[in-house]
Chains A and B, each alone.
Chain A
Amino acid sequence: GESVGLHLPTLSVQEGDNSIINCAYSNSASDYFIWYKQESGKGPQFIIDIRSNMDKRQGQRVTVLLNKTVKHLSLQIAATQPGDSAVYFCAENKRTGANNLFFGTGTRLTVIP
């Protein structure tokens, strides 16, 4: 089965609210995780990454949290904007030192103006 999955396939939020997208993984040996954003008709775009020796990492308006105890990853988007509407994927690497990324099925985020 999949080692990376998402709790919710769709998420709708009001513009200006914060968004939280969750992801579960099952491979406790994975040491690198990435969040990607995919807009319609485009390839996945890197948002933020985190290594297993960290539990939190912040970017511009985004924060990734990693809970290794329960093998859970989340992406928080602050003050969600219409341009954030997209499908979000979490991915984990399967082989240390390589980039054999295993993707979840994605969550579609819709921002309501």
Chain B
Amino acid sequence: DGGITQSPKYLFRKEGQNVTLSCEQNLNHDAMYWYRQDPGQGLRLIYYSQIVNDFQKGDIAEGYSVSREKKESFPLTVTSAQKNPTAFYLCATNSGGFGEQFFGPGTRLTVL
């Protein structure tokens, strides 16, 4: 059963704590992405990776970090430097085609 897994679906953290969001894919796609969704703002790109051991900052990378040690995995760490971390986070992959991306189910992070 191919797809993208994001866990957990809901995550609660105290302010000042770092938290890592998981994204795993078995689609054998090279490119992986992290987006953040806020009401009325669509999807904003945080980080993306086109190949293992390489990644680039997106439009709103401040306060976030990523790693890409394996093709299947692209975890996102939300650090305490991120001023407004409460949001819905989406992971996506791309097979290399014309921009069509496949999305995971998302993780809703709430910082208390």
Chains A and B form a bound pair: no
Could you tell me which B residues sit within 8 Å of A by CB distance? none
Could you tell me which A residues sit within 8 Å of B by CB distance? none
